[in-house]
A and B are shown apart, each in its own frame.
Chain A
Amino acid sequence: MPSLIGTAIWGDRFDAWTTLWLIDHLGERIADGNWSTVTTEILHPLGYNLWSFGHMALQLIGGALVAIGVPLVVSYNVLLMAGIWTSALGAHALGLVLTRSHRAAAVGAVAFATSPYLYAEAGAGCIELVAAGLLPLYTATLVRLIRQPSRSRWFQSTACLALIGPFNWYYTLFAGLITGSMVAWQVIRWARARSRIASLRAAGWIVLSALVAAAANIPLISEAKRETPARPSISADLFVSEAAFREVRAIANGSHPIDRLDEAMLKRVDAMQVHFNSTSIQSLLRADFASNPLQSTPGRLAYAIGLMGLVIATRRTVGWGVIAAGATVLSLGPFLNASGALLLNETATAWPLPYYWAHEYIPFFSKAYRPYRIGVVALTALAAVGAIGGAALFRSGRLWRPGAWVMLLGIVGFSQPHWSGDRPAQRPLADASTSEVYTALAAMEPGAVIEVPLHYQPVSNANARSQYAQTVHGHPLLNTNQLIRWPDLLRFQGMVTANSALRTVVDLGRASPPHAIDARDVQALVDQDFRWVVAHKRVPADEVELAGDSGHADLLGPVAWQLLTTAFGDPVIDDGESVLFDLTRASSTDTRIDGREHRALDLPFDPATTGFPLVLMPGQSVTIHEGDAAAFHAWVLPRRDHSAVSLRVEDDGVVREHALPMTPGFWQYVSIDANTRGTARLSLVGRGEDAAHVAITAASVRQ
C-alpha cells in the first residue's frame, strides 16, 4: 500500500466509494464553511440529509485532512491504517489498566487488532467500524472507575462513551452492552459479599456515567435515527420463506421493478437483514479471515488467546470470559444457523436465541440489526482475558524471554491476513482512478448528471463508483449509493416513476424491450437542471463476492445503446470507454424501441445465469448460435491474463474469425458485424498458447 497510497484503496465495496465521497464532501464543507445538513450533490434535486450516514466523526477528520490539502485517497488510507492502530492502542490501554504490564497489554492488543472482523470491515470499506479502539478504551475507563471511583475518572468514562456515538452508533449500543455487563458484574459481586458496598457504589457511578453520556448525545439521537428507521419485529416466518427470500434478493439486487416497491416490502428487506447478518456456527468454527464481513468473527487467534488466558488465570478472567461467551452467543442472531444457509429450516426457528429476546424487548437493541458485529464486544473481552492471562504467565517466571514471545505473537497475528482464510492482504488494491470522461465533464457547462443505468441499490462496485466520480466532475448527481434506507428510496421512487426517461433507464442493463421515452419528460429533466447523461462501454469488473452476479447490471446491451442514441442524440464524447450525452441535444420526438431484431443467446456459461466459467483450450471451440446474424454483441471479461478468444463465423462455405477485444480487469462491450448471407454458425474459439478463461454475458445477435 505505501507505494500506492495516493492512487488505490484497500477495500472495494460500495461503502468504500461512499466514504470517499463523504470525506471529500465534508472537506469541501469545511473549506467553504457550509454546515447545512442537506446536500444536493447526490440525489439531485431531492437532496440527501447527511445525518442519514449515522456516523461522521471519523469522516470529518478525513474531511479536515482534505481541506488542508491532503489528497482524498491518501486521507482515506491514512484513516484506515489509523483505525487499525488506534484499535491496537485502545486494547493496549485496557490491558495496561487491567495488568499494569505493557507486555501483557500487548497480548490483548494483538488479539484485538489482528481480528478478521476488523480486516473484513476494512475490506468492505467501513472504516468507521475498523476504528473500534474507543470500545476497549471505554472499557478501560470503566475498570478504572470501578477500582477507584472519582470525579475525574467518572468524567473520562462519560466523555469516552459520549464520544463513541458520533463515530459509530452501533458501537454506542455495544458500549451500552459493556456498560450493562459491568453493572451486572458489580451487582453480583455485591450480592455475593454483602459487605462490599464499594461494588454497589461503582455500579452507581457507571449508571450515572451512562445517563450523562446519553443526555449529552440526546441532541444527536433524533438526527441519527435517520440511519436506522424504525426496525420491524423479528419474523421467523420470513426467515424460512423462500418467497420472502426471493423478493428480498430481487430488491437487494436492484432487479425488482422500482414502480412495484412499497413500504411493507422494504420493511421486509430490513427485517431479513437480522438473519442475513447473523454469524453461523460454521463461520464461528472456521473463525478465519473471510472477505465477506457477514462471515467474520473475532478470529482464531483471539479465541485461542482467550482460551489460554482463561485456563492460565482462571478466576480472574471468569467475568470477562462470561462477557465474551455472552457476546458470541448474541452474535449468532435470533435463531441458530449451522451452515450459513440463506434460508433457515423450520426447526431452527422453534428455539429463539438470546438475541431474539433482546431485539424484541430491550429498548434500542433492535438498532443493532447486524448481530455479527456484536463479535467486537466478545473481542474486547477476549483481549482483556488475553492480557490478564499473559500477565499471569509472565509474572510466573515460567516463560523464557517473554518479550520475544510477545514479539512472535505480534508477527503471527499481523501476518495472518497473508495466509489465513481468504488471505485479504493478498487481494489487489482497488484502483481509485476514474474514467477520463469525468475529467472532461468537470470542464463542461453546469448541469446535473445522470449515470446510466440508474439503480436504486448499489448493486455493483462499478455502479457504486459513480458517487465517487462525483468528486472528480463536481456536478450534482442523481445517482447515490445511499438509498439503502427505505424512506429515501420511496422519495426516489416517487420522482423516478413520474418521468418516463428516468423510469426507462432504471436497471436498463437488465431491462427487456420495448423501451419508451417521451420528449416532454426529457425536457422536464432539463428544467430540473439536469444536463449530462453518462454511460459506459468499459466497466470495472467486480471482484467482491457480495456483489456477486449483480455485476452485469451495469452492462448495457445493443438495444439500450440504440435507445440512448435515439432519445438523447449523438454523444458529445465517445472515447470507446465512456459515452457522454447532452440532454439539451435530445430528440424533440418521443422514442420507442422494440428491439425485435435482436435475439439474446442463452449460453450455459453465462455468469449472469449459471455462473459457470468459460474455459477454452487452444483450438477448442463451442458453438453459440446457428442461423442468421447481421451483428454479434456481448460483454466479455478475461478471467486470466493473456486469454485470447475469437468469434468464428462460418457462413456459406467461408470461415472468418474476429478476435474479441479484452482488457484485463474490465468488462468490455463487443460489437462485431457478422453480415452473414445464409444460415451461419457462430462459435467461440480458444486462441493463444494457454487455456483462455473468459466470462461472456449479455450475448445477442441482430438478425
Chain B
Amino acid sequence: MTMATRIALACTVVAAWFGILAPRLEHRIATATLEGPAPFSLQNLRDRIAADTGEPDPELLASMAALSRLQMAEEERVAAIWSLLGEAVIAEAKTQTDALPAPRYAVDPRFFEPMVPEIIRRTIELYGARSEPLPVATVSSLSGDREDRLRVVLAAVHHRLVTADQAPALLQGAYDLLELQMERMQLEDGIRSAHPAALSP
C-alpha cells in the first residue's frame, strides 16, 4: 500500500468514525435515554388478585385503584395539553421532533421521566413563569401514544410554535402532570416495596 493510499484511507476512517458512526451511535443512545423507564407492570399483581379466592388485601386493592385513577388523570392532562395546541401547531411540531436538544433530565432521579420536566423548563425559559388553569380535556381526545405526544409538545415549545396566550395554560397543564407523576412514583415505590415477590417476572 502506498503512502498516498494510506493517507486517503486514514482520512476516510477518521471522517467515517467522527462524522457518521459516532454521532449516529450517540444519537441512538440519547434517544433511548429519552424514552424513560419501561411502564410499571402490575399484571402479576392483577393476576394474583384475580386468582385469589381468599380474603382480598384491602390496602392493595386501594393502591391499585389509586394507581388506575392517577394513570387516567395523567392521560387526561396529556390530552388537555394536546387539545390546547391545535392541529396546525401539532402538524408543524411533528416535523421538528428530531431537532430537540439532549435531554437535561434524562438521568435525574428526582423525576419519573425526562419529558415533562423538560417541557416545564423550556416553557418557563421561553414564555415566562406565569401559569393559568388548563381546562379539562374532551373525551374524544383521550387516545394516542403518550410518549410521542409529549415529544411533540416539547418540540412545539422548543421551536416557539406555542403562542404567548397558550403558554400559561400549557405550563399549568405540565405542572399538573408532573404532580400526578410524582404521586404515582411514590405510590409505585410503595407497592413495589410491599410486594416484591409478586412483582418479580
Binding site for B on A (CB under 8 A): 242, 245-246, 249, 281-282, 285-287, 300, 304, 307-308, 310-312, 314, 338-343, 389, 392-393, 396, 398, 604-605, 609-617, 620-622, 686, 691
Contacts and interface: CB of A to CB of B under 8 A. Distances in A.
User: Could you say which interface size class chain B belongs to?
Assistant: 35 or more
A614 B6 CA distance: 55
Given A304-B14, A339-B32, A398-B4, A285 B22 contact: yes
A393 B7 contact: yes
B109 A339 contact: no
A575 to B, nearest CB: 33
Nearest to B4: A398
B125 A339 contact: no
Contacts of B9: 311
A339 B121 CA distance: 22
Interface of B: 3-4, 6-7, 9-11, 13-14, 17-18, 22-23, 25-26, 29-30, 32-33, 106-110, 117, 120-121, 124-125, 127-131, 175, 178
Contact of B109 (A311, A338, A342): A342
Given A281-B29, A339-B29, A398-B4, A615 B129 contact: yes
Nearest to A304: B14
Contact of A338 (B14, B29, B117): B29
20 contacts: A242-B109, A281-B29, A282-B26, A285-B26, A287-B22, A307-B17, A311-B10, A312-B6, A312-B10, A339-B33, A340-B107, A393-B3, A393-B7, A396-B3, A398-B7, A604-B120, A605-B129, A611-B117, A612-B120, A617-B127
B129 A342 contact: no
A612 B124 contact: yes
B107 A341 contact: yes
Contacts of A281: 25, 29
A647 to B, nearest CB: 15
A285 to B, nearest CB: 4
Contacts of A286: 22, 26
B22 A620 contact: no
B30 A282 contact: yes
Contacts of B25: 281, 285
A596 to B, nearest CB: 27
A612 B11 CA distance: 44
Given A308-B14, A311-B13, A605-B129, A342 B107 contact: yes
B110 A610 contact: yes
A605 B18 CA distance: 39
A342 B108 CA distance: 9
Contacts of B4: 398
Given A300-B18, A304-B14, A249 B109 contact: yes
Nearest to A396: B3
A385 to B, nearest CB: 11
5 closest Cβ contacts across the A-B interface?
Answer: A311-B10, A396-B3, A308-B10, A617-B128, A285-B26
Contact of A308 (B11, B117, B125): B11
Contact of B125 (A249, A342, A609, A613): A613
Contacts of B30: 282, 339
A398 B13 CA distance: 19
B126 to A, nearest CB: 8
Nearest to A397: B3
Contacts of A300: 18
Nearest to B175: A604
